[in-house]
Amino acid sequence: MKALGRQPLDRPPVWFMRQAGRYLPEYRELRSRYSFEEAMRTPSLAAEITLQPARRFPLDAAIVFSDIMTPLTAWGVSIEFAPGPRLPPLELREVAMLPEFEPGKVDFVAETISIVRRSLDPQMALIGFAGGPATVLAYLLEGGGSPNFGGLRAAAHDDVIGDALDRLAGMTRAYLHLQAEAGADVVQLFDTWAGLLSRDQFTRWVIPAAKKALAGLGLPTIYFAPGATHVMDEFHLVGATAYGVDWRLSLAEAWRRVGESRPLQGNLDPALLLSSPDRVRTGTAKVLEEAGGRPGHIFGLGHGIFPATPLTNVEAMVRTVVEWEGYASETRQAG
């Protein structure tokens, strides 16, 4: 939270995307007894999974165990995981006419957050999240995952997309507000597929929807759109507190594009965690050196962790950040 406020720190905070998941043996053991949907929709199980990485590593934040598809049921859309998301594909106009958000249909998310907040170390932040309107729209139009999401790209040439995204933005904001009320300290918007759109389309459609989804929540917000470096100089228009950076761009260049005064989160390549502890330590140190000790840096991966990641490499990454010796003096100089 101090990093999001750009306060000078002895080291950057560290957490990473998908840190509660399949790379952990305790997660795999639990999932051997419960399906993904059971684990996600049962607050005691979802809370346990959320807390697992916080027990194993000296992290500074926990992110609630859930999925960006979770709120669809509260929007009147049926969904199943087999194992990826499957749902009936909708037309743009159908998305624009989705019913009002019904928080009672996802009250298990709020209960999970409440349980975690009571169990979590008070010094650790709790992160809630949602999918960005453009990314959720991509799944709604496609009926599931896709290598290129042609439906979204075609829809970006139709003015009706504005109505559909506006509808999703309002419902996303309601979902994030539910998480904030339940005890989340910060929320992140994952706009995973928005980068597929052109610069003009991103500026015209994606940014207004993301801005509406994050507006007026009363807590810090993070916006993450991997693969969107072609429009990163426009990210500030989203109005988030901080912005995630994928591994494709250096932090120095990202700060130049987003704005030197804005907090950034990232950006170790998650594929590096498939190598060796020594290489992980070297790569982690490189990211820390690139950040230069400036206020407003949150260390993390440039995307989600791979399921095959060895625990020794995760430990090497987190320990390198926590024990970073060069950061304190650099931060004082930056301050």
Distances (CA, A) of 44 to 57, 113, 192: 21, 10, 28
Nearest one of 290, 293, 295, 287 to 317, comparing CA atoms? 287
Residue in this structure with the two tokens 């194993």, named with its chain if needed: 56
Q: Which of 6, 22, 262, 281 is catalytic?
A: 22
Nearest one of 318, 17, 26 to 191, comparing CA atoms? 17
Q: What is the pLDDT of residues 189-225, one digit of tens each?
A: 999 999 999 999 999 999 999 999 999 999 999 999 9
* Residue 18 bears catalytic tag: yes
Q: In terms of pLDDT, which residue wins out, 302 or 329? A: 302
Residues 6+ apart with CB under 8 A from 93: 160, 163, 164
Q: Domain 25-260 is of which CATH architecture? A: Alpha-Beta Barrel (3.20)
Mean pLDDT of 12-28: 96
Looking at residue 334, its pLDDT comes to 42
Mean pLDDT of 256-270: 96
* Residue 31 bears catalytic tag: yes
Per-residue pLDDT band at 330 (split at 50, 70, 90):
very low
Instruction: State the number of CA atoms in the 13 A half-sphere of 105 facing the CB.
Output: 17
Residue in this structure with the two tokens 């996802």, named with its chain if needed: 106
Mean pLDDT of 91-96: 96
* Residue 159 bears catalytic tag: no
Q: Which of 34, 67, 86, 107 is catalytic?
A: 67
Q: Which of 23, 139, 175, 243 is catalytic?
A: 139
Q: What is the pLDDT of residues 129-188, one digit of tens each?
A: 999 999 999 999 999 898 899 999 999 999 999 999 999 999 999 999 999 999 999 999
Q: Identify any residues that bridge with 64 across adjacent strands, giving them in sequence order.
A: none
Per-residue pLDDT band at 325 (split at 50, 70, 90):
confident
pTM of the model: 0.95
Q: Which of 11, 18, 117, 173 is catalytic?
A: 18
Looking at residue 8, its pLDDT comes to 93
Task: Quote the mean pLDDT of the chain.
Answer: 94
Q: Identify any residues that bridge with 144 across adjacent strands, giving them in sequence order.
A: 86
Query: What tokens does 15 get?
Result: 């957490």
Looking at residue 326, its pLDDT comes to 60
Give the span between the Cα atoms of 190 and 69, in whole angstroms.
11
Query: What tokens does 269 get?
Result: 């390549």
* Residue 246 bears catalytic tag: no
Mean pLDDT of 52-78: 95
